[in-house]
Amino acid sequence: MSYTIEGSTGTWEIVVGLEVHAQVISHSKLFSGASTVFGAEPNTQVSLIDAGFPGMLPVINHECVAQAVRTGLGLKARINLESRFDRKNYFYADLPQGYQISQFAHPIVGEGSIGIELSDGSTRDIGITRLHLEQDAGKLIHDQDPKLSLVDLNRAGVSLMEIVSEPDIRTPEEAGAYLRKLRQILRYLGTCDGNMDEGSMRADVNVSVRHAGEPFRTRCEIKNVNSIRFVMQAIEIEAARQVEVWESGGTVDQETRLFDPARSETRSLRSKEDAHDYRYFPDPDLLPLVIGQNWVDQLKASLPELPDEKRARFQKDYGITAYDAGVLVAEQAIADFYESVAKGRDGKSAAAWMTGDFFAALNRTGKSIDESPVGADKLGAMLDLIADSTINGKIAKDVLETMFETGETPLEIVERKGLRQVTDTGAIEKAADDVIANNTDKLEQYRGGKDKLFGFFVGQVMKATQGKANPAMVNEILRRKIDG
């Protein structure tokens, strides 16, 4: 969907490129053996390397490299068999080394792309420029002491992947779709947990505006935005600010800004630092990182099925719509659940029940799919009861609700509550006759052309049988009796 800003000098288009920092899932840090577990006591997971002691030598963590390669493969990107580590020099209290080890000119992963789907059903490919490995910094704590700032180095040296997009994004919605898709791929791959609220995925948002067809104009970079919703808001607000600057005759300066959601504004943090400010140079403690094509091929062969492929397969194997398939592959756990329900059953009906009443019940009870009191086996058993006409769809809704409350099997509930479907023609005929006899006025109106009243009769017969009648039979018997 297009998103533009109307100004006095014409229509403006937004240009966005995202730099995402994704914390690598690994037991230990990028260049040290210290643990990476989240939430530990401050400064309990710090090696001498992380603390920047002189004379310590970094040793590359094999698993972090594998995770970067897996991610590159998942982004359909070029894997660089030789890459290099550089020192990015700057002074900050949470960076005891005085430099961050990063990859500058020779990243481990080159160009790739991510396919996104938008709410109007259209799709777009967003280019990936590169992915490189780098160290995270520690964390300053300002709220524990009235006078002092404290530092926690647990995070110092943890492995990050910086994933840089091309300036291909044109709307806040596309930025949101890109981040959701990236997070989904990372989670499927098991290379980053994607938890933005814990800071394990955070985005720097580069925004500029231009009239359509113009070359790119100067961008501003909004640092460290920590939710998808905030990224979308920040783009909207920053783009509007830039349009105003340009239209009032000013120029946008390249700078780093901060998004303040409480005040719905972005504020200047510092003017743009350039690469030369960091005095990048090759880290003399580390050799070039050389990996073998064989190893890359092995990693590729062991990748899990990714969301796009899974979605296409679900459509093909289970005959479900692209939309439903998209919902069902949103998370690996949901996709697995769906497959165990759908296997050997009607895939469409499995999808309808899962995306409908089942998700609604999960939402209502505030549970994730892993905590669902109704497992795939029980939901499948319920579908079987519908398929073999033990219960109808209407009763099944109540059965599902009871399953969530009591944890019983569907059959136990059907037996305990006496919910078996009535397929006895005599009983349905009798109920239909009674309903007709008690509603002769309605019958007259119906026969006089008020077709909609047919539904009324169906409803009354269903009610008379406590909802248990076979709906197809009710329809057929009523047609015969009142149409005949």
Q: Summarize as ranges the residues that interact with ligand ADP (CB under 6 A).
A: 15-19, 164-167, 206-208, 216, 219
Minimum CB distance to ligand ADP, residue 219 (Å): 4
Pick 16 or 462: Cβ nearer ligand ADP = 16
The maximal CA–CA distance of the chain, rounded, in angstroms, is: 98
Minimum CB distance to ligand ADP, residue 217 (Å): 6
Minimum CB distance to ligand ADP, residue 12 (Å): 13
Which residues contact residue 217 at a Cβ distance below 8 angstroms, ignoring those fewer than 6 apart?
Answer: 15, 208, 209, 210, 246, 252
Please list the alpha-helical segments (H only) found in 208-354.
Answer: 228-247, 293-301, 307-318, 322-328, 332-342, 347-353
Pick 16 or 385: Cβ nearer ligand ADP = 16
Minimum CB distance to ligand ADP, residue 166 (Å): 5
Q: Supply the DSSP string of 278-301, one letter for each residue.
A: GT-EE-TTS--EE--HHHHHHHHH
Minimum CB distance to ligand ADP, residue 294 (Å): 31
The b-or-e profile of 352-377 (16+ CB within 10 A means b, else e) is bbbbebbeebbeeeeeebeebebebe
Pairing of strands 220-225, 255-260: parallel
Pick 61 or 165: Cβ nearer ligand ADP = 165
End-to-end C-alpha distance for the chain, whole angstroms: 53
From the list 220, 209, 236, the residue with the least C-alpha distance to 268 is: 220
Tally helices (H) and strands (E) across the chain. 16, 16
Minimum CB distance to ligand ADP, residue 210 (Å): 8
Pick 75 or 473: Cβ nearer ligand ADP = 75
From the list 428, 432, 480, the residue with the least C-alpha distance to 456 is: 432
Q: Give the residue at shortest CB distance from ligand ADP.
A: 17
- Distance separating alpha carbons of residues 128 and 158, to the nearest angstrom: 23
Minimum CB distance to ligand ADP, residue 38 (Å): 27
Pick 198 or 277: Cβ nearer ligand ADP = 277
Pick 85 or 446: Cβ nearer ligand ADP = 85
Sign of the alpha-carbon dihedral angle for 48, 51, 56, 62: positive
Pick 19 or 408: Cβ nearer ligand ADP = 19
Sign of the alpha-carbon dihedral angle for 149, 154, 157, 163: negative
